[in-house]
Amino acid sequence: MKKEIITKLHKSFEEAAYQEDGVEYWLARELQTLLEYTEWRNFLQVIDKAKVTCKTSGQEVGHHFVDINKMITLAKGASRDIDDLMLTRYACYLIAQNGDPRKEQIAFAQSYFAIQTRKQEILEKRIELIERLEAREKLTATETELSGTIYERGVDSKGFGRIRSKGDQALFGGNNTLQMKKKLGIPESRSLADFLPTITIKAKDLATEITNFNVKKADLKGEQKITDEHVKNNQDVRTLLEKNNILPETLPPEQDIKKLERAVKADDKKLLEDIKKLKRDK
């Protein structure tokens, strides 16, 4: 496929996209024209095949293929309603996959929507990564602050480790830090929080924030008093989670944050390669 044809098609597909509540979509009647199907009934056959593929893949068809009606203007000012569909990016991809790949427009659409879908997947991964990273960094900062606070009150680094482990024991239903690492298959040398889901990281952070606040407010001193305070706060946070049917010790471990970062970078590289491939003449 020549570069000028690719450029023209890319512009056409981009301009045909709509946005509603942050969701990108295309109209089937316009996609029909872009893919050069002259008969609506023939294009509907391709759409029906795409719906079957969508259902087979475990997706909700109604979320990707939305039936609508729209008014069109006829000759001499007359108008009438016609059937149409709002199509998600994934729906367009399935339609292209069920089209005739010998047609340049179909071949382009297959690559275009595959890349668009991949961009979305990468964006979602990046959002997930950023949320976990921010939660993890916040927990580190909160624990560092607590460590400094209790050091001034007679508790050394080993004592802080014991306090944190007792807090984990209260949060994780009787499992201390080391036991949770064994339960989740985490190396002893690695931090437990690097493998926890975001909700649990934030739970640990909240309990630690409350401990830090109350230690200062009540001027608590000594390892035992601070331990009691931290255990209480973790128990309170656990109670809140339980009310929402969340048991931290039963949640599966998340991918190591460091590996997740590398995976997203690899996805970025693959996306760039796909884009370059699409732009090259075939």
Bigger pLDDT: 98 vs 266: 98
Give whichever of 31-40, 70-79, 100-109 has the largest mean pLDDT. 31-40
pTM for this structure?
Answer: 0.58
Q: Average pLDDT, whole number, for the chain? A: 85
Neighbours of 167 (CB within 10 A): 26
Read off the amino acid at residue 50: A
> Is the distance from CB of 99 to CB of 119 less than 8 angstroms?
no
Domain ranges of the chain: 3-99, 126-266
The confidence score (pLDDT) of residue 65 equals 93
**SS3 for 67?**
strand
Q: Could you give the percent of the chain with pLDDT greater than 90?
A: 49
**SS3 for 33?**
helix
Q: Cα–chain-centroid distance for residue 157?
A: 36
Q: What are the pLDDT digits (tens) for 119-161?
A: 666 666 777 777 888 899 899 999 999 999 999 999 999 999 9
Q: What are the pLDDT digits (tens) for 257-278?
A: 878 767 666 766 766 676 566 5
Least confident of 23-27, 146-150, 245-249: 23-27
- Residue 282: pLDDT band (50, 70, 90) is very low
Who contacts 112 (Cβ-Cβ below 8 Å, separation ≥6)? Answer: 9, 10, 13, 96, 278
